[in-house]
Amino acid sequence: MSEGSSGTPKLKIGVLLSGSGTNLQAIIDAAQDGLPVEIVHVISSRPDAFGIKRAKEAGISVCALDKTVYANPEEADARIVSQMQDAGAEYLVMAGYMRKLTPVVLNAFPDRVLNLHPALLPSFKGAHAIQDAWDAGVKVTGVTVHFANEDYDKGPIIAQRAVPVLEPDTIDDLEARIHATEHVLYPEVLRLLAEGRISVDDERKVRIA
């Protein structure tokens, strides 16, 4: 296993995405700045996702799936597992991946699938979290990184960071601030994983050493 500049062994991750890949880019940039992480493979659920270009430009192997592959979700996930295991991924990182993972993936990578959610879970679950928080008129929302499980947006929470809703904000302003926070928090969590400081206890709560 290769090591980062700090001597910490590099954590090998596979990234799942569906869109522009800004969180993938944040991880790529952080890795170039010393984050002890190696992205060994990227899989996109859409062949037109801009994240594919980001992966290729960084020299990362990438596979693009399409909706015909997902006609059978279990078979699609078996394909994901096979590719990620062949690439040597230790953890899977969902970075704007808009497909619900089946137990095929979750059982192959138990407590090793990370998801990023643009709200402070358990508040505002689902695909429209930023809009839902905005519509609710909350003064604080945020970002959650958690382990994925079979219950949508309910896996053990690893880290959260609050994002204020400011008086002059438009929803676009809030969304930009949330995404900027994601780009900082996700690499921080990956560093903790690489350093072996994250565990899940018997009560299914995350402990950070």
Q: Is 3 exposed, middle or buried (0-12, 13-18, 19+ CB in 10 A)?
A: exposed
Annotated active-site residue 179? The verdict is no
CB 6 within 8 A of CB 191: no
Q: Which residue is it, tokens 């994002």? A: 163
> Which of 117, 146, 179, 183 is labelled catalytic?
117
Looking only at the bridges linking them, the beta strands covering 157-164 and 91-94 are: unpaired
In Å, the largest CA–CA distance within the chain is 49
Looking only at the bridges linking them, the beta strands covering 37-44 and 62-64 are: parallel
Q: Which residues are designated catalytic?
A: 117
